[in-house]
Amino acid sequence: MQSIKVSASQRYTVHIGSGLLANCGEIIKEIIEPCKAVVVTDHTVEPLFAACVRASLAQAGFTTHLFTFAPGERSKNLQTLSDLLECFAVEQLTRSDCVIALGGGVVGDLSGFAAGCYLRGIRYVQLPTTLLAAVDSSVGGKTGVDLSAGKNLAGLFWQPSAVICDTDCLATLPHEIFLDGLVEAIKTGILGSEELFALIESGAIRENTEDIIASCVAIKASVVASDERESGARKVLNLGHTVGHALEACSNYSLSHGSAVAAGIAIMTRAAMALGTCDLQDAQRIVQLLESLGLPLETEYSTEQLVQAALHDKKRAGDTLTLVLPERIGSCVLREVNLSELSGIIDKGRGKHQ
């Protein structure tokens, strides 16, 4: 088991290891007095892990109530948020009670948001069950739901009280969902650790999941500690995401997040090479790793379509956007670009020189 401390507005520990779900009650009891805990999960995760989590909580003295909803991004909306808040009220949760988010990023984002606004904020614990939630969404305190106008448009920064990541949960993940998380881990390696990147590149991924997760969490924790509310340094975590989000929107969300971000990383890497910020050899290693995993490196959408979609990016500030460009494996730079420059840069990343 590995433990990593996160120092944000709330300090908490991320526990990573095998067999932790069966012991989660004892771990939670160390930071939260036994109380009423609403366990939030989706219909896919519930039959896999909810009984084990509830039994462990009960053994540690917690009273539990289960709230489940239909799996997938389509549930991450105001209706499910409202149902969850009403459930907290019916269960008469008080400020000394807590919420347990058992699932992937959808469960985590939604539960964290509900916990952050119920009674102006109650505690919650993340029990990530997807690789994406383990390496990315369960740490950092970004919570929220989608609106009809776009993804994650309503939300809060609300840090969890603890994150307990049982690596055994990942065994039941379908390959495509595992790959979504792996792309975020590759992204984290590119922006923060050559060693992490090389570990993934070695191909022994399943054998090293605990180390891969721990390394991603440590890097994310240090970025979040330096810029919790994304006014500067935290933007580096968006590597591949400006183009990735644009691609997802162009495909009407039929393309998986991991595939879209992989193409976004490949395009930004080649753009960085053309702009002279990234070393040729490192750029080739990045593109080759994505390719070896069967991930897309390009898209059939035109640069114009991508730019139009990127104009709706919520991270746009007026006429500028901050792009993340690899410098070498282990380090990226932020570059603020005018919207008028964006298509030229994307074209460079697609091998189209103007």
Ligand X SMILES: NC(=O)c1ccc[n+]([C@@H]2O[C@H](COP(=O)([O-])OP(=O)(O)OC[C@H]3O[C@@H](n4cnc5c(N)ncnc54)[C@H](O)[C@@H]3O)[C@@H](O)[C@H]2O)c1
Q: Is 328 a catalytic residue?
A: no
Catalytic residue among 230, 270, 348, 350: 230
| 25 touches 172 (CB < 8 A) | no
Catalytic residue among 54, 76, 241, 285: 241
Residue facing ligand X at closest CB distance? 105
Catalytic residue among 54, 76, 184, 270: 184
Query: CB of 94: closest distance to ligand X in angstroms?
Result: 26
Nearer to ligand X, 103 or 326 (CB): 103
Query: CB of 315: closest distance to ligand X in angstroms?
Result: 13
Catalytic residue among 76, 123, 235, 257: 257
Q: Is 238 a catalytic residue?
A: yes
Nearer to ligand X, 98 or 132 (CB): 132
Nearer to ligand X, 179 or 274 (CB): 179
Catalytic residue among 46, 187, 238, 285: 238
Query: CB of 184: closest distance to ligand X in angstroms?
Result: 7
The DSSP string of 195-207 is HHHHHHHTS-TGG
Nearer to ligand X, 248 or 347 (CB): 248
The DSSP string of 104-133 is SHHHHHHHHHHHHHGGG--EEEEEE-SHHI
Query: CB of 349: closest distance to ligand X in angstroms?
Result: 22
Nearer to ligand X, 177 or 345 (CB): 177
H helix and E strand count, the chain: 13, 11
Residue ranges in contact with ligand X by CB under 6 A: 42, 44-45, 48, 71-73, 76, 103-107, 109, 129-130, 132-133, 136-137, 140, 142, 151-152, 169, 172-173, 177, 180
Distance CA 200, CA 193 (A): 11
Nearer to ligand X, 58 or 173 (CB): 173
Q: Is 5 a catalytic residue?
A: no
Distance CA 238, CA 95 (A): 34
Nearer to ligand X, 132 or 200 (CB): 132
Query: CB of 352: closest distance to ligand X in angstroms?
Result: 30
Instruction: Please list the helix, strand and coil fractions of the chain in percent, rounded to the nearest 5, in that order.
Output: 50, 20, 25
Residues contacting 342, CB < 8 A, separation 6+: 307, 310, 321, 323
Q: Is 120 a catalytic residue?
A: yes
Query: CB of 80: closest distance to ligand X in angstroms?
Result: 12
Catalytic residue among 54, 76, 234, 350: 234
Q: Is 257 a catalytic residue?
A: yes
Catalytic residue among 123, 142, 285, 350: 142
- Using CA atoms of 169, 158, 79, 77 in order, give the dihedral in degrees to the nearest 10: -70
DSSP strands (E only) in the chain: 2-7, 11-17, 36-42, 63-69, 98-103, 123-128, 142-147, 150-157, 162-166, 320-328, 331-338
Q: Is 220 a catalytic residue?
A: yes
With b meaning 16 or more CB within 10 Å and e meaning fewer, what string describes 127-153?
Answer: bbbbbbbbbbbbbbbbbbbbeeeebbe
Contacts 24+ apart (CB under 8 A), 58-62: 58/25, 59/25, 59/26, 60/25, 60/26, 60/28, 60/29, 60/34, 61/25, 61/29, 61/34, 62/25, 62/28, 62/29, 62/34, 62/35, 62/36, 62/37
Query: CB of 274: closest distance to ligand X in angstroms?
Result: 28
* Catalytic center residues: 120, 142, 184, 220, 230, 234, 238, 241, 245, 257
